[in-house]
Amino acid sequence: MYFFLPVTLLVYFLIPMPGKSPKLRNYWLLLMSLVFYGWGEPRYLALMAVQMLAGWGFGLLIDLWRGKKGAKIALAGAVIVGVGSLVFFKYTNFFIVNINGFSGASIPLLKLVMPIGISFYTFQLLSYEFDLYSGSIRAQKNFFTLCTYVALFPQLIAGPIVRYADIENDLEKRSHSLDKFAGGVRRFVIGMGKKVLLANVLGEFVELAKKSGEVSVFGTWIYVIAYALHIYFDFSGYSDMAIGIGKMLGFNFPENFNYPYIASGISDFWRRWHISLSAWFRDYVYIPLGGNRVKMPRYVFNVMVVWFLTGFWHGADWNYMAWGAYFGVLLLFERFFLGKALQKLPRFVSHLYMALAICIGWMFFDSETLALAGQRIGYMFGAGADSLIGADMLYYLRSYFVPLAAAAVGCTPLPSKLAAKLAGGAAGRRVMTVLEPLAVCAALLAVTACLVDGSFNPFIYFRF
């Protein structure tokens, strides 16, 4: 925020654009993106470089052999390199642990550290290859331009998953304006505020709730609600930051969240949460499997495969796969039994159903083991709980009530609606012209103060 980003932006806008081509600026962004990534994980720059080189080479072959058998072979090669790297670094030790557990073997674990962002940039490269094979895009012949797409630092390590088609035109020719830059700054600061002022504070509350050891019904519900808000503001905050920096640089990254907690069902929720990942699995797994244009048994199979892979993508552990399977079953239940009923019921009823289902799902997501997830879900409904309300959680709730209430309001469209209402009319626009930059500056100062005074809080999705 205070060195890397200002230097990157300053030099970026000093670099000329002959013929309005951003090629020179792309090279600068590529260099700084590699510095950004290498600063945290220098050992894995080589891995990313190999993946980018393979993606570029296989992409050229797919384009060259379009419509021929060679294109399918080249696509298979791209998938083997991309998925192979992801599986090796992310899942090898998971497989070893389970092989040892089931067979009684003693295969030693490998000393692997998962490269930050590998799930995201691997999926971006795969989307590029798949779109090439389908003919919806043409191959990028300039290796460094393709590398710029893959390595762009704003969204490299935690999304959104930006497809090549999303920014193909921006890589070749993009516009810059003061309004666009100012909008990017505003979006970036909003994202930082979400992360630092809300997600980090709620994360502290969640950790206190876990460490307290209290097992009460009320305490478990407050804990899972706090966790639901924590993960939303953490991840949507990062997405806002990425989209904001993209706007500063002239790129238009896709939206990744659309107020998921106001959804009226699970299907609606997943149209609003991590939109880029849901769309990726829909377009590159679900539809190629046949989607919903198949007989019922095959449709059930397609849905469960997609959600098993979605859970597995999030983490190499059984709780993530259970989380994915849980949502697959819920979506099937909505499709065959509950969907029409939800449409007829009052919206608040369908919303309560969604909230309950999502909270149970987050218990799978945040628990280290399936057994622990089962215990916590039981506590939510009184099974195994020591009491209805515990003293520890009441104390923590009083201490963290303000950020919890702010987060509960902030995850709805209410703040943006109020801002739009204030900006209505000529007088309102004049007022907002003054208030908005003051609010952005105040938020940036508050974020800075918290960062200086606080401890390191990495984004949740770094580990996925």
Catalytic residues: 314
Q: 188: closest CA among 253, 140, 130, 144?
A: 253
| Cβ atoms 93, 112 nearer than 8 A | yes
Distance CA 359, CA 228 (A): 7
Q: 91: closest CA among 295, 312, 258?
A: 312
| Cβ atoms 204, 226 nearer than 8 A | no
For 310, other C-beta atoms within 10 Å of its C-beta total: 23
Phi, psi dihedrals of residue 387, rounded to the nearest 5°: -160, 170
DSSP SS3 for 387: strand
Phi, psi dihedrals of residue 216, rounded to the nearest 5°: -125, 155
Question: Which structure tokens are listed for 306?
Answer: 């997609």
| Cβ atoms 75, 68 nearer than 8 A | no
Question: Which structure tokens are listed for 123?
Answer: 């999926």
SS percent in the chain: helix, strand, coil, step 5: 75, 0, 25
Q: 241: closest CA among 292, 199, 208?
A: 199
